[in-house]
Amino acid sequence: MKKTMLLFLALLPMMAWAQFDAYFSESSLRVDYCLTGNSKETSFSLKELIHEPYWSGSKTNLIDNLEFGSYIVKVFETGTDHLLFSKGYQNLYGEWQTTDEAKQVTKTFDESVVVPFPKVKIDIALCYKTWEGELKEGMRFSVSPMDYFIRDYDKLDLPVYEAWIGNKDITKAVDIVILPEGYTQAEMGKFIKDCDFFVKSMFSYAPYDRYRESFNIRGVMAPSAESGCTMPGDHIYKNTAMRFSFWTFDSERYCMSTDNRDIRDLAGQVPYDQIYILINTEKYGGGGIYNFYCSSASSNGFSSDVIIHEFGHGFAGLADEYYNDDTYGDMYNNDLEPWEPNITTLVDFDAKWKDMVDKKTPVPTPREKRYESTIGVFEGGGYEAEGVYSPHMDCLMKTFNGHEFCPVCQRAIERMILYYSK
């Protein structure tokens, strides 16, 4: 019986590969769509389908059992409703919905999801989670691989800098594309140095330092017309490749862009699982959204810590653990367990880091000096001082004082690395 079980487990990856090869090719289908709405309602609309040249995601972990994020893309075989692929994600629109502006106006945001390019006719469902936690379909549509309205990706004549190649098999690695924002053609040499700094930074933090062979990091050398970044609060406006701007959602240090298509067109030049934008400025700031993109200033004294903090959001779905930011309204429904692995409302703490808490540690755990090195359940996190709890008194997802992730965040990152690379 034991031998039979071991044989079955050994065959699982081969079975998954067989399913991938039966239904998908080694390229991608990019779905560009729009989200229109306000704080109360949302509508989806399809914009364009693009055939991109690379599939760098896993060929074995096709179904996202984590379901991190408030949005999930699902791919079904047409006619059978057999689930072939799914992936959770977050987006800029979802964050905007929590702002005061969303209570007053309706806006449209361009978004994209990427799935393996099909060999058969498929149905794609774009789903979202309501405030009450219900998963709903926002839009469903059919795609035929023979559809001549699927646009072939425009390959741009841009140099690519291979900053780090740990595994030449892109389906068994975390592939990161670094994009330059506000670097002129004359500053491409600086961008290369900043890519090297990104690599050095990443592999100097645990647990990334133990998984160098699981990462590929490439920079696309796309110049901007002007150097620097837009800063509306200082009346500075720059003509840049992807139009990033500080003061996003009226938060000075939040630096994001709504020009999704420009970002995706540049990212698609190389295989990618994660997008990171280096912004050519000394101003402190950036941002990171799960399976969307991350950004940070390249020339700030905190650049190394910021890079790793923001990538924690974008790659592992880690929440901010500080609770003194009033940029957003109510981010979490305290009657539900948040999806982020490093915060809890205690509604379903068994699904989080309960197994890492010593039985002698009180829950909730007081923020007292005697517990400063303890894995516990400390009230405060996810921008909320009450009702949301985090696992450590300090962590890179809270401050840069200790320059390291707590054990709970490290485990979450490690699990995500293995998800992509095994």
pLDDT at 206: 98
Fill in the DSSP letter of residue 320: P
Task: Report helix, strand or coil for 175.
Answer: strand
Burial class of residue 138 in the structure, from the number of CB atoms within 10 Å of its CB (0-12 exposed, 13-18 middle, 19+ buried):
middle
138 sits in which H/E element = strand 135-143
Fill in the DSSP letter of residue 80: T
| Cβ 346 vs Cβ 377: under 8 Å | yes
Torsion of CA 361, 362, 364, 368, to 10 degrees: -80
Per-residue confidence in pLDDT tens, the chain, 422 aa:
555 544 444 444 545 658 999 999 999 999 999 999 999 999 999 999 999 999 999 999 999 999 899 999 999 999 999 999 999 999 999 999 999 999 999 999 999 999 999 999 999 999 999 999 999 999 999 999 999 999 999 999 999 999 999 999 999 999 999 999 999 999 999 999 999 999 999 999 999 999 999 999 999 999 999 999 999 999 999 999 999 999 999 999 999 999 999 999 999 999 999 999 999 999 999 999 999 999 999 988 788 999 999 999 999 999 999 997 665 557 899 999 999 999 999 999 999 999 999 999 999 999 999 999 999 999 999 999 999 999 999 999 999 998 999 999 999 999 999 999 98
Q: Which CATH number fits domain 19-152: 2.30.30.190, 2.40.30.10, 2.60.40.3250, 2.160.20.10?
A: 2.60.40.3250
Give the separation between CA 382 and CA 373, rounded to whole angstroms.
20
| Cβ 217 vs Cβ 196: under 8 Å | no
What top-level class would CATH report for the domain 160-320? alpha beta
* CATH 3.40.390.10 boundaries in the chain: 160-320
pLDDT at 27: 98
Whole-Å CA distances, 272 to 213, 257, 277, 285, 334: 16, 19, 13, 24, 35
pLDDT at 370: 97
- Greatest Cα pair distance, the chain, in angstroms, is 71
DSSP states of 228-284 as a string? S-BBGGGTB----SS--BSSGGG-TTB-B-S-HHHHHHHHTTS--SEEEEEE--SS-
Q: What is the pTM of this model?
A: 0.94
* CATH 2.60.40.3250 boundaries in the chain: 19-152
Give the separation between CA 89 and CA 87, rounded to whole angstroms.
7
Number of H helices, E strands in the chain: 6, 16
Give the separation between CA 266 and CA 30, rounded to whole angstroms.
13
Fill in the DSSP letter of residue 401: S
